[in-house]
Structure 1
Amino acid sequence: MHAENSSQAYYPSWVYDRLTEQQVSAGEISDATAADMHELEWKLYIIGLHCIQMKSHDRPTMSEVIEMLEGGVVGLQMPPRTFFCDDESMSPMMDSYQFSSGLTEILEEDE
C-alpha cells in the first residue's frame, strides 16, 4: 500500500514500516527518530507488535511484556514481520478475490 492508499493500509503494517524506516540499525533509534517520535510511543509500538505475533512462540509472556515496559528503548528489538502485515502476501489474496468475484454463472442448455 502506498501513501495515496493510506486509508486502505493495515495499521500494524503501517506502524511496522514507519518504525523500520526510522531505525538506523536493528534495535537502535537515532536522534532524528527520538525527535520525531517520543520514546514511550516508540516502546509501546514495538511491544504492541510483539504482542500481535501470529505464532504463540513469537509472542512475549506477560512477565516479558512487563519487563519490556519497565526497561529502556535501547534493548528493544523489532519483532519479525507477521504474514498479515506483508503487503506482498495480501496482494495474491486480493487478486484472487477480485478474480473470483468477477466470475459469471454458466448455465447448461438442454439438448
Structure 2
Amino acid sequence: MDNIFDLDSMLLELNKKGNSSCSLDVLHNNSFEVGVLRLNPGQKDTQGPHSEDELYFVMEGKGLINILEKNHEIRKGSCIFVPSKTKHYFHGNKERLVVLYVFNVSKS
C-alpha cells in the first residue's frame, strides 16, 4: 500500500481519463477517501451533495465555491469544510483549479 502521494502523478493519471472526468480517488479505507479534483477553465463541476463530511484544500488556481446558493472566493491555500448532504460546487475559475479532497467515510 502506498502512503505517499504525488500531486503531479495524480494529475497525470487524471489527464489519461481525458475531459470526461474531473476527479481521481487515490485512497479509500474505512476512515476516509482522498482524491484530487481538477477543473479546467469552463469545465463544469458535476458533483452533488455527499453523504459524508468533506474537507477541500486548494492546491492550485482560484475561483469560487457555491455552498447552499452562496458564492465564496477561493484560491491556492484555501481550506473549505462542507458538512454532509450540503449542496455545493466549484465554478468561476479562469485558470486550472486543483483541489485535494478528503471525505470522512467512517461509520461511527
Q: What TM-score does the superposition give when structure 2 sets the normalisation length? A: 0.30
Bigger CA radius of gyration: 1
Q: Which has the higher helix share?
A: 1
Q: What TM-score does the superposition give when structure 1 sets the normalisation length? A: 0.29
Q: Which has the higher strand share?
A: 2
Greater relative contact order structure (CA < 8 Å, 6+ sep) = 2
